[in-house]
C-alpha cells in the first residue's frame, strides 16, 4: 500500500500536529475542519509550530515553506476523496466520531484506510459506523505530535492484517516507535497516564497538596518534563474528563471517576492552555512551579509514583502490553526520563509492593493493593 496523500479531519492541537508530522515526512496532506474558523486555527497552529522550528534553527525558512506548500485546507469532506489514509482527530465524543466516519466512508475512495486518533473510545464502535470496518484502525499520537515519538496502532476484530502492517510501516517511516495493540479503553498510555493525572487532582481536591507542590514534586523528584496539573492543561482538561469517563465506565473503580477539580474547571470554561487558563492562567509566561515544602513533595511523589507503578505491573500482568511497550509508551509518548519497569528495576519490586500495601492501608483504597503473589 502506498500513502502519497493523507487526510486529517479535525484541526485542533492534535489534528494540526498530525498534519505537520505527515507534511514534514514529505506527504501531501489535506486538512479538513467543520468551519472556516476551525480551518484558520489549524492553519495558524501549523504556521506557529513551523516558525518556532525556524526560530530555533531546526528548519530553514525554505524548508518550512516547502512543508507548508504540501498542505491544503478546507471544510468539505469531498476534498478527501483521493486520500490513501484519513486520520480523524475530532473531540472525544463517540456520536461525533461515528458521524464523521460515516461521512468519510461516503467521501473517501473505497481503497482508502480510515484511522481514528481517539484517546480512549472504542475503535470497534467507530469502525462499525462504516461499510469498510476491515480498513478502519486506531492511530493514536501524543501531544505535541511533532515531538512525541510514540504511536499506538489499535486493531479491532475486523481489521485486515495487511492494513495493520502497512500502518505500522507508515508510522515507522515517520520516525515513530509503534506499539501494536487491541481495542481497550485508554489503550496503553492513556489508561496509565489518566489514572495518574486523576490521582493528582484527587489529592489536590482533598487539600493535601497544592498544584505547585504536586508539579514541583514530579518535576524535581522524578525529572518529569511537566507536573500533572501542567500536563492536564497541555492535553486539555475537557479531553481528560472524557477519557476518564470512558475508562471509568469500563473499570467502575472510584479512582477512575473524573475528579471534581477537573470537572469544575471544565464547567467554568477553563479547559487548559487552549482556552487560556486551566489549573494555571496562560495570559502571561509562567515560571516553572516550585515549592519549598520537602515533606509534602516527598509524600505526593511517593503516592503518585507508587500507584502508577502498581498500575503498570497490573497492566503487564493482564498480557495486554509488554514491559517494553509500556516503557516505550511512557518515555516516547510522554517524555518521561525512565520507563516504569526501569524504575521498578532500580528501586526493587519488593520495595514497590510494600509501598503499594502501605498506600492501600493508609488511604483505605483497595485498588492500590499489590497483585496477589
Q: Which residues bind ligand 3HC (CB under 6 A)?
A: 49, 52, 56, 58, 119, 142-144, 146-148, 190, 193, 225-226, 231, 234-235, 239, 333-335
Considering beta carbons, is residue 86 or 193 the nearer one to ligand 3HC? 193
Indicate if 190 belongs to the active site.
yes
CB of 56 to ligand 3HC, least distance (A): 5
The distance from CA 348 to its chain's CA centroid, rounded to whole angstroms, is 29
Residue 32: in which H helix or E strand, if any? strand 28-32
Indicate if 140 belongs to the active site.
yes
Q: Which of 152, 212, 230, 242 is catalytic?
A: 152
Considering beta carbons, is residue 135 or 239 the nearer one to ligand 3HC? 239
C-alpha 39/C-alpha 44 separation (Å) is 9
Indicate if 128 belongs to the active site.
no
C-alpha 273/C-alpha 277 separation (Å) is 6
Q: Are strands 5-9 and 28-32 parallel, antiparallel or unpaired?
A: parallel
Considering beta carbons, is residue 52 or 109 the nearer one to ligand 3HC? 52
C-alpha 270/C-alpha 129 separation (Å) is 32
Indicate if 119 belongs to the active site.
yes
- Cell numbers given for 134: 476491515
Is the separation of the CB atoms in 138 and 116 below 8 Å?
yes
Q: Which of 20, 88, 117, 140 is catalytic?
A: 140
Q: Which of 45, 119, 166, 198 is catalytic?
A: 119
CB of 175 to ligand 3HC, least distance (A): 13
Considering beta carbons, is residue 312 or 355 the nearer one to ligand 3HC? 312
CB of 336 to ligand 3HC, least distance (A): 8
CB of 121 to ligand 3HC, least distance (A): 11
Q: Which of 49, 117, 122, 190 is catalytic?
A: 190
Alpha helices in the chain (DSSP H): 13-24, 36-55, 61-69, 94-107, 123-127, 161-173, 189-206, 211-222, 228-235, 237-251, 260-267, 294-318, 323-328, 334, 340-347, 349-363
Residue 4 has φ and ψ, to the nearest 5°, of -85, -40
CB of 117 to ligand 3HC, least distance (A): 7
Catalytic residues: 119, 140, 152, 190
Amino acid at each position: 500500500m502506498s500513502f502519497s496523500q493523507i487526510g486529517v479531519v479535525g484541526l485542533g492541537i492534535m489534528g494540526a500536529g498530525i498534519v505537520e508530522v505527515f507534511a514534514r515526512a514529505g506527504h501531501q496532506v489535506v486538512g479538513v475542519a467543520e468551519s472556516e474558523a476551525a480551518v484558520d486555527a489549524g492553519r495558524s497552529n501549523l504556521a506557529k509550530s513551523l516558525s518556532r522550528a525556524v526560530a530555533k534553527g531546526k528548519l530553514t525558512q525554505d524548508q518550512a515553506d516547502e512543508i507548508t506548500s504540501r498542505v491544503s485546507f478546507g471544510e468539505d469532506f469531498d476534498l478527501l476523496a483521493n486520500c490513501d489514509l484519513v486520520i480523524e482527530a475530532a473531540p472525544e465524543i463517540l456520536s461525533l466520531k461515528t458521524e464523521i466516519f460515516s461521512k468519510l466512508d461516503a467521501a473517501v475512495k473505497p481503497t482508502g484506510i480510515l484511522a481514528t486518533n481517539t484517546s480512549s473510545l472504542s475503535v470497534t464502535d467507530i469502525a462499525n459506523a462504516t461499510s469498510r470496518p476491515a480498513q478502519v484502525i486506531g492511530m493514536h499520537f501524543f501531544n505535541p505530535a511533532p515531538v512525541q515519538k510514540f504511536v499506538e496502532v489499535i486493531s479491532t476484530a475486523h481489521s485486515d492484517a495487511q492494513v495493520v502492517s502497512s500502518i505500522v510501516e507508515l508510522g515507522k517511516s515517520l520516525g515513530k516507535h509503534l506499539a501494536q495493540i487491541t481495542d481497550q479503553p485508554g489503550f496503553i498510555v492513556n489508561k496509565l497516564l489518566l489514572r495518574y493525572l486523576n490521582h493528582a487532582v484527587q489529592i489536590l481536591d482533598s487539600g493535601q497538596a497544592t498544584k505547585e507542590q504536586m508539579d514541583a514534586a514530579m518535576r524535581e523528584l522524578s525529572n518529569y518534563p511537566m507536573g500533572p496539573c501542567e500536563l492536564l492543561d497541555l492535553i486539555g482538561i475537557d479531553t481528560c474528563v472524557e477519557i476518564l469517563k470512558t475508562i471509568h465506565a469500563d473499570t467502575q473503580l472510584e479512582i477512575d471517576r473524573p475528579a471534581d477539580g477537573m470537572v469544575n474547571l471544565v464547567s467554568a470554561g477553563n479547559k487548559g492552555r487552549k482556552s487560556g487558563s486551566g489549573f494555571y492562567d496562560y495570559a502571561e509566561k509562567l515560571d516553572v512551579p516550585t515549592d519549598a515544602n520537602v515533606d509534602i513533595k516527598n509524600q505526593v511523589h511517593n503516592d503518585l509514583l507508587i500507584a502508577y507503578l502498581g498500575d503498570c505491573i497490573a497492566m503487564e500482568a493482564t498480557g495486554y502490553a509488554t514491559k517494553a511497550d509500556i516503557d516505550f509508551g511512557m518515555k516516547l509518548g510522554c517524555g518521561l526520563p525512565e520507563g516504569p519497569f526501569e524504575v521498578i528495576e532500580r528501586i526493587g519490586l519488593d520495595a514497590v509492593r510494600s509501598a503499594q500495601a502501605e498506600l492501600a492501608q493508609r488511604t483505605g483504597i483497595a485498588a492500590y493493593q499489590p497483585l496477589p503473589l
